[in-house]
Structure 1
Amino acid sequence: MGIHMSESSGLLTSYTSYNGKAETPATLAESADGCFRDDEKDETCSVDSEKRAHKGLSVGLATMFLLAEMAGAGLLNVPKAVANVGWGGLPLIVLLCLAVGFAGTRLGLCWVLLEERWPEYRAPCRRPYPAIARRALGKAGQIVAEVSMEVTLFGAATVYLMVSSQIINDLLGSLVPSLSQCSWTLILGAVLCPSTWFSTPKDFWGAPLFAMTATLLACLVVVVEVVLEKGEHDPPEFPAPTFNSFFLGFSSILFALGGSSIFPTIQNDMKNRAQFPESVVITFLSLLAIYLPLCAICYGILGTNGTPENIISAVSGPAVKVTQVFLLCHFLFAFSIVINPINQAIENYFNVPSDTFSVRRVVVRSSIMVMEVLVGFTIPDFSKILDLIGGSTVALMSFVLPPICYLRLSAVRGLDGLPLRVVPKWEVVALWVVVMVGVVGGVGSTWSALSTIISEQSFASSCFSPQTFL
């Protein structure tokens, strides 16, 4: 952690305020603007009258936001991921956590490099990840990053919708037995649709605290109930993993750790962006502290045969119902947050005014909601969508792009004609190892997820089947 901080701080030593006190580059954007510029401007970020506020997220609050976004739906599925991989899933979680965390710290340093070389990035940025990819890999890199982000967010929103409908069905199934999970998906989509027509509040400081409360409560309740109900479960079985099961578990773990697409956005809201690597380190250590005990206890007691796709389904009781209510509130709020950037991106593509409420906005955003419901109808099992996203776009944005962008940006020459940063050889090797793990694991996971989705059994469980819907 100290190494990350010293690396970040070293990039910022050339920035000093007029009174001699060291500050971050953002606080000096106004005075630095115009000192040195490239002819090519980045449309994703622009210097305008709205400068960065001197108040922003602290390291602790940024960590809270990261945990709230990452330890959500992945928490429910990660025990099944370990069950698919076997006991090797526990060290795999540690390995992938270290790899993604290391790549995440380098993604954070990418933004520090952007602020050092291009002053326009010291002002608020609407799409920071594509901005990093553009400066590192050109226009093609920006397009890849933007498409990957939108696909990831669309998949995550669909997962939240599916999990929410499953929770509602579990809570109200005995009261309204005539409605299935597919029916609740349709009802939930219709109810949520009007809320997507309006902009999502930007500053909801209680959201990450509530999300973390729900996550920790779910983890605690599941562990306690699994231990208490140990005698009620079948004897656990621990078969060797197959090729498909291993990579399905791999992709589920990636999804549970894959929050890199939002890293630059949260970093952009910090008062001192150079401190973001510290938040990343704390976040991944916290995730290990949550995931490892949960997976070890659940898999040890339930085995491969008794661990469901949604670990909440393995336990019952009043405490579980309360936990489900908390999780439902968390996922519904997360859905509204995640789907908003998708809406804005599609509106920008169709030139829909963002500052006024219009019929065109209603049509575009309602169409996106219809697409979410249709995908949910086609693949009602949220874990299959989770596996596909985890093995494809999440692997790309968490394993592949951060190391490559960091190495490319480090080689960019500064005002003195020298590279912005000389990367040690050990670090170059480590970063390329992370890239190779992401490529091999991502390809295998995507293949396994697609094979599962297009299987005959998957089509038989689609909501388009009358017996499934009813």
Structure 2
Amino acid sequence: MLSCFEDSGAARGTVNYNMVFLKGHYSVSDATMESTKPEKHRNHKGMSWPTAAIFIVGDMMGGGMIALPIAVVNAGQRLVAFCLCLTQFGIATVLTLLAANNLSNLLAAVGFPINFCYVVLLIAAVLWPFVMLKSPMDFWQAAVGAAVSSTVAAMLIVAGAIHDAPVCRQIGWLSQLVNVMITVHVLPTVVIVFSPLAQQVEEWTNVPQRHFSARRFAIRSLILFGIVFTAESIPHFGVFLDLVGGSTITLMTMLLPSVFYLFLSASHNKRKDLINTMQISPDSPDNQLAGFVELYKVVEISSAISIGMQ
């Protein structure tokens, strides 16, 4: 049973409606429900906001200090992979520029000149479906085509050199045919160079490797777009050769191998010292890692020997 009655508030000049629900001999009104609501708990003796902020900062910094060693190790492991990816990216850009340059010269020679920038886009459109292939085992034909075209180009170059030996003069169609063979060689090479770069980026981004997916399509399309954008922005492959040769290749061929050798030598010397001082047994696992002190000792001894030899 539901009843509604009116309560006139003369002092306030308002009318209040009170709803009473009757069920048997029980009645519940709005006033009763309001009075039975539990009050919100407030801890007036707790910590303040500044204190809580200090605790959060301390906790986060402590976790960072604990995770710092493994973070440094992972960063060192990924440094080489990053240098390799950057090198592959630069090589793919250089090869794209070379193929576009050869194709542009060929089209100009046959009387159909096209702007170099449009030729780069054309090259990217031709390569786009092939860069979606998973691994080199799926495009072994590209390697065969690159090898065959390189062989044909070398044979044509030798034939042209023999023809030019008595009198130095160029054969137009032979020169253009050599450019075509070089371009045919470069295009599959771009796909071959692109594959390890794409696979490494997919590993970093946790892209499924077993089957083709939208994520693989998006990642590889973005990488190809980056190559095309770089080629369009700096259409001179000599700049990329200098940049890649002076940065990542120098790191991987000269600096990093020396650092790795010093680290391995210092780790070996540290293990020998621990065995001689009987801190570990000779049969213990070879998992001692050198620190900065051991590395400094090896570098100092090597520097002293090199200075003494001079």
Name the TM-score class by shorter chain: 0.5 to 0.7
**Structure 1 portions without partners, runs of 5+:** 1-136, 233-314, 420-427, 434-470
**Structure 2 portions without partners, runs of 5+:** 1-71, 272-281, 289-301
Amino acid at match of 1:333: P
The Cα of 1:407 is off from its aligned counterpart by 4.0
Query: Secondary structure of 1:173's match?
Result: helix
Match of 2:192 among 306, 330, 337: 337
Amino acid at match of 1:376: A
Query: Secondary structure of 1:184's match?
Result: helix
What does 1:72-83 correspond to in 2, within 5 Å?
Answer: none
Match of 1:173 among 108, 131, 150: 108
What does 1:260-299 correspond to in 2, within 5 Å?
Answer: none
Identify the residue that residue 99 of structure 2 maps to in structure 1: 164
1:383 aligns with 2:222: no
The Cα of 1:410 is off from its aligned counterpart by 4.5
Q: Which has the higher contact order (CA 8 A, sep 6+)?
A: 1
Amino acid at match of 1:180: N
Would you say the 8 A contact 1:343–1:365 is kept in 2?
yes
| C-alpha distance 402-196 of structure 1, shift in aligned 2 (>3 A) | same
Identify the residue that residue 213 of structure 1 maps to in structure 2: 151
The Cα of 1:411 is off from its aligned counterpart by 4.7
Would you say the 8 A contact 2:147–2:185 is kept in 1?
no
2-structure distance, mates of 1:149, 1:333: 19
1:201 aligns with 2:136: yes
Query: Secondary structure of 1:357's match?
Result: coil
Match of 1:139 among 74, 77, 87: 74
Query: Secondary structure of 2:211's match?
Result: coil
The Cα of 1:144 is off from its aligned counterpart by 1.6
Would you say the 8 A contact 1:221–1:323 is kept in 2?
no
| C-alpha distance 169-140 of structure 1, shift in aligned 2 (>3 A) | same
Amino acid at match of 1:190: A
Query: Secondary structure of 1:352's match?
Result: coil
Identify the residue that residue 279 of structure 2 maps to in structure 1: none
| C-alpha distance 163-179 of structure 1, shift in aligned 2 (>3 A) | same
1:401 aligns with 2:256: yes
TM-score by length of 2: 0.56
Identify the residue that residue 371 of structure 1 maps to in structure 2: 226
Identify the residue that residue 185 of structure 1 maps to in structure 2: 120
1:348 aligns with 2:208: no
The structure that has the greater radius of gyration is: 2
Match of 1:357 among 205, 212, 219: 212
Amino acid at match of 1:213: T
The Cα of 1:157 is off from its aligned counterpart by 0.3
For these two proteins, the number of residue pairs brought into alignment is: 209
Would you say the 8 A contact 1:214–1:327 is kept in 2?
no
The Cα of 1:409 is off from its aligned counterpart by 2.9
Q: Encode CA deviations 1:135-154: one digit per residue, 9 max, x unaligned.
A: xx943332221111011000
What does 1:103-142 correspond to in 2, within 5 Å?
Answer: 138-142=73-77
State the identity as a percent. Answer: 29
Amino acid at match of 1:387: D
The Cα of 1:372 is off from its aligned counterpart by 0.8
| C-alpha distance 226-374 of structure 1, shift in aligned 2 (>3 A) | farther
1-structure distance, mates of 2:120, 2:103: 9
Q: Encode CA deviations 1:200-243: one digit per residue, 9 max, x unaligned.
A: 4338474674375267447646866886775x8xxxxxxxxxxx
2-structure distance, mates of 1:138, 1:223: 54
The Cα of 1:189 is off from its aligned counterpart by 0.7
Q: Encode CA deviations 1:37-85: one digit per residue, 9 max, x unaligned.
A: xxxxxxxxxxxxxxxxxxxxxxxxxxxxxxxxxxxxxxxxxxxxxxxxx
1-structure distance, mates of 2:267, 2:156: 46
Would you say the 8 A contact 2:150–2:182 is kept in 1?
no
Query: Secondary structure of 2:247's match?
Result: helix
Q: Encode CA deviations 1:349-401: one digit per residue, 9 max, x unaligned.
A: 22221111112211111111111111011011111111111111111112222
Would you say the 8 A contact 1:158–1:372 is kept in 2?
yes
Identify the residue that residue 326 of structure 1 maps to in structure 2: 181
Identify the residue that residue 87 of structure 2 maps to in structure 1: 152
2-structure distance, mates of 1:178, 1:320: 17
Would you say the 8 A contact 1:221–1:320 is kept in 2?
no
2-structure distance, mates of 1:410, 1:217: 48
Q: Encode CA deviations 1:104-148: one digit per residue, 9 max, x unaligned.
A: xxxxxxxxxxxxxxxxxxxxxxxxxxxxxxxxx943332221111
Would you say the 8 A contact 1:164–1:331 is kept in 2?
yes
Amino acid at match of 2:259: I
The Cα of 1:187 is off from its aligned counterpart by 1.1
The Cα of 1:165 is off from its aligned counterpart by 0.7
| C-alpha distance 410-210 of structure 1, shift in aligned 2 (>3 A) | farther
Would you say the 8 A contact 2:89–2:227 is kept in 1?
yes
Would you say the 8 A contact 1:153–1:338 is kept in 2?
yes
Query: Secondary structure of 1:202's match?
Result: helix
Query: Secondary structure of 2:136's match?
Result: coil
1-structure distance, mates of 2:148, 2:87: 23
Would you say the 8 A contact 2:146–2:184 is kept in 1?
no
1-structure distance, mates of 2:110, 2:157: 27
Would you say the 8 A contact 2:104–2:119 is kept in 1?
yes
Identify the residue that residue 7 of structure 2 maps to in structure 1: none
| C-alpha distance 195-206 of structure 1, shift in aligned 2 (>3 A) | closer
Larger fraction in strand: 2
